[in-house]
Amino acid sequence: MSIRRIAVLASGRGSNLQAIVDAIAAGRLQAEIVGVFSDRPDATALERVATDRRWGHAPKEFSNRAAYEQALGDALAASTPDWIVCAGYMRILGADFVQRFNGRLVNIHPSLLPLHKGLHTHARALEAGDSEHGASVHLVVPELDAGAVLAQARVPVLAGDDAQTLAERVLAVEHPLLIATLELLCAGRLAEREGQPTFDGHPLFSPLALDSAGNLNR
């Protein structure tokens, strides 16, 4: 199997990025990180790759959002990625940018989509009285957190949980979920065809589910 090229968009510390780096080093993921791209030049995530694979620029350096996304897109395109992973990237991507990389953009989001799109998902799950919470990997479309969901991991909401304890429980499954999904994407088993996810060549109508062994199943 050929080595897949992964680019990562990140705004913060890069814990999901580190999970990808570790999976590659362990031989679990047949891929290489071809670049890390951030809207925050001081993001810790950038320090997890060599200097020649870092791109960090604040949007305020550019005349407008379109100019920023053009520059980001040009830098991304130059790295010739097979997959682009939004891993804690805290900006909404514009329609032109998403269309430019259509079918190659995935995002990991800390909720069981379509529940709790956007921010503060853990507090909102508690406020809603949800019995389960979790994380989702989905295709990126111009609408916020609205792309087809590829895979999910579920955790129970326990009595006495607050947003912090629930966030920690979700984070514990977030990394295995992302790596298991990327394994299938890099192997070509999980793909996208005209906005429709496919798994082993067949349409995927509901998200794959992460089991306790870290594998994804229908």
Residues with a catalytic annotation lie at 109
Taking alpha carbons only, the member of 77, 103, 94, 56 closest to residue 7 is 77
Q: Tell me how far the alpha carbon of residue 213 is from its chain's centroid.
A: 21
Cβ distance 70 to 61 under 8 Å?
Answer: no
Q: What is the DSSP string of 120-137?
A: -HHHHHHHTT-SEEEEEE
Cβ distance 109 to 136 under 8 Å?
Answer: yes
Q: State the chain's maximal CA–CA distance in angstroms.
A: 49
